[in-house]
């Protein structure tokens, strides 16, 4: 697998190098030059296979020659030791629950595979590195949990003080050992900007910094697998399917784009966003304008005013967008609009959807999943297209108990994994949003 940078100004690299370095030297994002495709027979053969087996077979083709088969199989079975339920809402609508991992969000899928692959490569070469990651809540907890206790990897997580829930924060601050959590007096976009600047800072090169954000291609590849899985379980090739994906930084949606490239007949990808509607506006008008500062919505993990993965999406359609959001080459907007639909869902609609889905079907969802469902229902209302659709629930309702309870009267059950952090002691450092302060912190901490 060869990867290029979306800024088109950096040498091609192997998967290992893209995984370890995160961002390309020209500040672009790595994208696979090409991907293998899965035939009808292969997809059929996934029908009765368990999730880790499908993950192993997909990855062994995508990463052919990059990881030895036996290690890869062990890594995937170890990473995916939890359920991936497909819950029927009605015969044309399913909810794929990606919330059964150890930190109860879909971020576990990527973080657990990425941690294991990084450890595999680093221990072969006896190297070490520090993962810097900005989080709006769930990435930080998933990454902290996935990398916890590894010898050759330190993790530093930056989160916006007022934008993460108590539970999300505790999942990052109660671990200790190789995990450091920093509470930043600012927004997610400020955290992300500081992290990106640190990667580009020559003075910090010797620190071997890497990223676990969805700028890392190691996050996206594992996120393509569940789209192949759900298709194989629910559909017979070549029947169509639609996915609706609650989106913030658009990493999850890019996983779906990769799955389509690999041959899954996906008729439409619905990228549902909250009131941060820069992407629906872009698809509508062709003009891109980031939202600064991003808006605080109930689905807090999607409060992103400038999604980094948009430059990857634009690259797939032949365009070039740099990290600042400037488009130097227009993508094929017609094809893009054909394949991707994006709609914005207000907080009021999010709440109403949580209530409606509970009242009609007895199914509990949380705000992110509600944005996904609303996006799908709006799409159906607009187009009359009733193709079988899978909408993603990206977090356990117990991560957002206040909102769920307010709309349904039900107190969601706390999964074991979340129970254990409740009473543990928290450790964290505090920083502002100025880069100089963050740089000094890193130099003191890592030297
Ligand atoms: C991160 C996250 C999202 C958004 O995913 P992106 O890949 O950033 O678009 C949605 N829901 C939850 C619960 C998340 O943690």
Q: Is there a domain that residue 180 lies in?
A: no
Find the mean pLDDT for residues 10-34.
Answer: 94
Tally the residues of the chain. Answer: 447
What are the two backbone dihedrals, phi and then psi, of residue 342, each rounded to the nearest 5 degrees?
-130, 130
β-pair partners for 200: none
Find the mean pLDDT for residues 355-379.
Answer: 98
Please tell me if the CB atom of residue 7 comes closer than 6 angstroms to any atom of ligand 1: no
Q: What percent of the chain has pLDDT over 70?
A: 100
Please tell me if the CB atom of residue 99 comes closer than 6 angstroms to any atom of ligand 1: no
Please tell me if the CB atom of residue 395 comes closer than 6 angstroms to any atom of ligand 1: yes
Q: Classify residue 229 by its DSSP letter.
A: H
Structure token pair of residue 403: 């909102």
Ligand 1, pocket-test mutation among 172, 245, 299, 301, most atoms within 8 A of CB: 301
Q: Is the predicted pLDDT of residue 29 greater than 80, yes or no?
A: yes
Q: Is the predicted pLDDT of residue 314 greater than 90, yes or no?
A: yes
- pLDDT category, 168, cuts 50, 70, 90? confident
Condensed to tens digits (0 to 9), the pLDDT of residues 84-93 reads 999 999 999 9
Helix locations, 181-339, DSSP H = 188-200, 217-220, 222-234, 251-261, 278-285, 310-316, 333-339
Q: Is the predicted pLDDT of residue 138 greater than 90, yes or no?
A: no
pLDDT at 422: 86
Q: Is there a domain that residue 94 lies in?
A: yes
Least confident range from 295-304, 376-385, 386-395: namely 295-304
Ligand 1, pocket-test mutation among 246, 303, 370, most atoms within 8 A of CB: 246
Distance (Å, rounded) from C-alpha 335 to C-alpha 333?
Answer: 6
For ligand 1, the distance from its centroid to the CA atom of residue 249, given in whole angstroms, is 7
Give 300 or 232, the one with higher predicted confidence. Answer: 232
Atom of ligand 1 nearest to the CA of 255: 7
Atom of ligand 1 nearest to the CA of 246: 10
Q: Is the predicted pLDDT of residue 169 greater than 80, yes or no?
A: yes
Q: Is there a domain that residue 360 lies in?
A: yes
Q: Is the predicted pLDDT of residue 364 greater than 90, yes or no?
A: yes
Q: Is there a domain that residue 376 lies in?
A: yes
Query: Whole-number mean pLDDT of the chain?
Result: 95
Find the mean pLDDT for residues 55-84.
Answer: 97
Q: Is there a domain that residue 275 lies in?
A: yes
- pLDDT category, 23, cuts 50, 70, 90? confident
- pLDDT category, 66, cuts 50, 70, 90? very high
- pLDDT category, 166, cuts 50, 70, 90? confident
Please tell me if the CB atom of residue 220 comes closer than 6 angstroms to any atom of ligand 1: no
pLDDT at 192: 87
- pLDDT category, 151, cuts 50, 70, 90? confident
Q: Is there a domain that residue 239 lies in?
A: yes
- pLDDT category, 101, cuts 50, 70, 90? very high
Q: Is the predicted pLDDT of residue 189 greater than 90, yes or no?
A: no
Q: Is there a domain that residue 340 lies in?
A: yes
β-pair partners for 270: 244, 341
Find the mean pLDDT for residues 328-353.
Answer: 98
Atom of ligand 1 nearest to the CA of 142: 15
Q: Is the predicted pLDDT of residue 137 greater than 90, yes or no?
A: no
For ligand 1, the distance from its centroid to the CA atom of residue 164, given in whole angstroms, is 13
What are the two backbone dihedrals, phi and then psi, of residue 102, each rounded to the nearest 5 degrees?
-65, -25
pLDDT at 61: 97
Alpha-carbon distance values, 439 to 130, 199, 207, 220, 433 (Å):
14, 11, 12, 28, 11
Condensed to tens digits (0 to 9), the pLDDT of residues 197-227 reads 998 899 998 999 988 877 899 999 999 999 9
pLDDT at 239: 97
Residue among 159, 106, 142 nearest 369 (CA)? 106
Q: Is there a domain that residue 111 lies in?
A: no
Structure token pair of residue 31: 């994208």
Please tell me if the CB atom of residue 140 comes closer than 6 angstroms to any atom of ligand 1: no
Angle, helices 401-408 vs 347-361, to 10°: value is 60
Condensed to tens digits (0 to 9), the pLDDT of residues 387-400 reads 999 999 999 999 89
Distance (Å, rounded) from C-alpha 49 to C-alpha 171?
Answer: 32
Please tell me if the CB atom of residue 247 comes closer than 6 angstroms to any atom of ligand 1: yes
pLDDT at 83: 97
Q: How many structural domains are present in the chain?
A: 1
Q: What is the CATH number of the domain that holds 285?
A: 3.40.50.1100
Residue numbers of the domain that contains 399: 83-105+219-408
Please tell me if the CB atom of residue 138 comes closer than 6 angstroms to any atom of ligand 1: yes
């Amino acid at each position: 697998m060869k990867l290029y940078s979306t800024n088109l100004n950096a040498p091609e690299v192997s998967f290992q190098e893209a995984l370890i370095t995160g961002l390309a030297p020209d500040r672009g994002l790595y994208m696979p030059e090409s991907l293998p495709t899965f035939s009808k027979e292969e997809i059929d053969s996934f029908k009765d296979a368990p999730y880790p087996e499908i993950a192993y077979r997909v990855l062994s083709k995508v990463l052919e020659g990059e990881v030895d088969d036996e290690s890869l199989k062990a890594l995937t079975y170890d990473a995916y030791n939890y359920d991936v339920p497909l819950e029927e809402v009605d015969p044309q609508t399913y909810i794929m629950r990606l919330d059964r991992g150890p930190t109860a969000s879909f971020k576990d899928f990527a973080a657990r595979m990425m941690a294991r692959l990084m450890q595999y490569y680093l221990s072969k070469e006896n190297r070490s590195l520090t993962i810097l990651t900005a989080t709006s809540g769930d990435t930080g907890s998933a990454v902290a949990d996935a990398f916890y206790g590894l010898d050759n990897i330190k993790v530093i997580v930056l989160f916006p003080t007022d934008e993460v829930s108590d539970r999300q924060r505790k999942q990052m601050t109660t671990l200790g050992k190789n995990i450091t959590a920093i509470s930043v007096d600012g927004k997610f976009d400020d955290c992300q900007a500081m992290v990106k600047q640190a990667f580009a800072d020559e003075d910090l090169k010797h620190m071997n910094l890497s990223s676990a954000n969805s700028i890392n291609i190691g996050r996206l590849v594992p996120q393509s697998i569940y789209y192949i899985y759900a298709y194989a379980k629910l559909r017979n090739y070549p029947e169509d399917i639609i996915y609706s994906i609650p989106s913030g930084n658009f990493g999850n949606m890019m996983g779906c784009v990769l799955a389509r490239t690999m041959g899954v007949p996906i008729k439409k990808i619905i990228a549902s966003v909250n009131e941060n509607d820069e992407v629906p506006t872009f698809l509508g008008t062709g003009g891109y304008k980031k939202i600064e500062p991003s808006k605080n919505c109930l689905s807090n993990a999607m409060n992103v005013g400038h999604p980094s993965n948009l430059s990857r999406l634009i690259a797939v359609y032949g365009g070039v967008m740099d990290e600042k959001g400037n488009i130097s080459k227009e993508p094929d907007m017609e094809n893009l609009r054909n394949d991707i639909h994006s709609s914005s869902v207000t907080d009021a609609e999010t709440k109403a959807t949580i209530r409606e889905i509970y009242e009609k079907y007895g199914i509990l969802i949380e705000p992110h999943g509600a944005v996904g469902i609303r996006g799908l229902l709006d799409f159906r209302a607009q187009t009359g297209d009733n193709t079988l659709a899978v909408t993603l629930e990206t977090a356990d309702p117990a991560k957002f108990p206040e909102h769920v309870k307010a709309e349904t009267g039900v107190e969601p059950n706390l999964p074991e994994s979340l129970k254990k952090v409740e009473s543990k002691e928290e450790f964290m450092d505090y920083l502002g949003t100025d880069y100089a302060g963050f740089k000094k912190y890193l130099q003191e901490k890592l030297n």
